[in-house]
Amino acid sequence: MAPSDSLADRIRRAGILPTDSGEVRLQKTLLIFATGLISFASMFWLFIYWQLGPQISSTIPFLFQLLLIGNLAFYLKTLRFEFFRQTQLALFLFMPFVAQWSMGNFITASGLSLWALLAPVGAVLVIGAREALAWFFAYVFLTALSGGFDYYLADAALPAPVKIPPSTTVFFFALNFTAVSTLVFVLLRYSAIEKQKAQSRLEEAHRLLQLEQERSERLLLNILPGPIAERLKNSSQTIADGFADVSVMFVDIVNFTRIAEGMTPQQVFSMLNRVFSSFDELAEKYGLEKIKTIGDAYMVAGGLNDQREDFTEALADLALAMRDLLERDFQVNAMHLEVRIGIGSGPVVAGVVGKKKFIYDLWGDTVNLASRITSEGVPGIVQVDETTYRKLLPCFEFQAPRTLHLKGKGDTVVYRVIGRKAAADGSLAESAGGRACALP
């Protein structure tokens, strides 16, 4: 509770529990607020009545005050809101009629029973619209009952009531109508303001929830490809797909262990973060899917999504762009790192592994081949397998083929990419099928 809160604010919020819903909090606040308003208004009414009218008995008004405050104190001690709600509304309903009956009739009491209207109005606010019907019918019944008594007993031989000047009666009629109307308006206005505040808080919470959801979406998309992330959100089934034609590339930093020996962990992280963040930007530029980083190695693939059909060419362009970036941009590559790059093409299996700290990964002979070609590569050179070579041949130039002995593969023919072909007239080269080679 804030130290700047006034006593009235603390009393108004008394009895509210942390587990209460927003609606229950509002109901409790409204009923305590209404109790305070009615207590103050009834004391003010009695004071004016004593000043302008005859000295009527203060027993019933005083008893009304005691019952209201006593019931409120009992609620604050026991926190039995349902009991407090029913009994307080009953006091609002019955005590004005009892006071009117003690003073005579509608005329002599200046329509004092109008105050009982606060009971059904309060019931609408603190119980509910449907439940409030019973309170309104009770108010109508007591009003009709009082009117019937006044009508049938008007000529009966009754003790002469206290004589009240007509001017006083008229004044209190106006006062009662004004006071009750004011209280009803104040309560309805207060309820509307509190509901607007609650709605504003709800909208702000919804806005923050949307921001958090968008943040979670971005984080998920940083881990998984877009279509895979969507499937993971909408289904709890295992995600594993087979692809007949995918190109996989590994980028491996040369002599990373030796370079990192003389660096602090923070320096190593900063170095890798600069390089791999730049690679991320290039992969996104070429419409390719980064799969993961494995220590000082970077894995990216093409053909897993529908972003482009020439994914193998795009992967070769990406490989050359990564190599050239490290050779020319020494803000990114302050340590003058060199990389080995290998590309393999063929079928793979792709899927999400695990349920916690999961990862999207690729498996298959194509992945193993690309990894082996990379590890047996030459710094600054992009090596590809024969399948990739055939796909790139129409648009790229290569050195003479070489045979490498790869672990688990035996003798394997690999090709080293020089760069894109250029036609004699400076235009883009055309593939054997007559298709213009795409721009890098």
What local confidence, expressed as pLDDT, does residue 93 receive? 87
| 194 and 304 housed in the same domain | no
| 101 and 171 housed in the same domain | yes
| 322 and 400 housed in the same domain | yes
Helices (H), 364-411: 365-375, 386-392
In the listed set 197, 213, 229, which residue is the last one of a domain according to the structure?
Answer: 213
Q: Maximum Cα–Cα distance for the chain, whole Å? A: 130
Residue 222 lies in a domain: no
CB 316 within 8 A of CB 392: yes
Q: What angle do CA 55, 61, 65 make, to 5 degrees?
A: 145
What local confidence, expressed as pLDDT, does residue 433 receive? 43
Reported as a single tens digit per residue, the pLDDT across 347-370 is: 998 888 766 667 778 889 999 999
Q: How many CB atoms lie within 10 A of CB 67?
A: 15
| 341 and 269 housed in the same domain | yes
How many domains in the chain? Answer: 2
Looking up tokens 């108004």, which residue turns up? 12
What local confidence, expressed as pLDDT, does residue 357 receive? 64
Residues 6 or more apart in contact with residue 269 via CB below 8 angstroms: none
Short-list 365, 356, 437, 348, CA closest to 408: 365
What local confidence, expressed as pLDDT, does residue 315 receive? 94
| 172 and 298 housed in the same domain | no
| 131 and 256 housed in the same domain | no
Residue 114 lies in a domain: yes
Identity (one letter) of the amino acid at 239? I
Residue 226 lies in a domain: no
What local confidence, expressed as pLDDT, does residue 294 receive? 86
What are the DSSP calls for 98-156, one per residue?
Answer: HHHHHH-STTTTTSGGGGGGHHHHHHHHHT-TTTHHHHHHHHHHHHHHHHHHHHHTTTS
Residue 357 lies in a domain: yes
Residue 218 lies in a domain: no
What local confidence, expressed as pLDDT, does residue 339 receive? 92
Residue 230 lies in a domain: no
| 289 and 403 housed in the same domain | yes
What local confidence, expressed as pLDDT, does residue 207 receive? 85
Residue 59 lies in a domain: yes
CB 342 within 8 A of CB 383: yes
Q: Which domain holds residue 324?
A: 238-420
User: Which contiguous run of DSSP H or E holds residue 271?
Assistant: helix 265-285
Read off the CATH number of the domain in which 323 is found: 3.30.70.1230
What local confidence, expressed as pLDDT, does residue 342 receive? 94
Residue 435 lies in a domain: no
* Backbone torsions φ then ψ of 292, nearest 5 degrees: -175, 170
| 309 and 399 housed in the same domain | yes
- Along the chain (440 residues), what's the average pLDDT of each consecutive run of 10 residues? 53 72 80 81 72 60 82 86 89 85 75 83 85 88 82 54 60 72 78 79 83 75 67 67 89 89 88 92 90 89 81 93 92 89 92 73 90 90 94 92 85 92 55 52
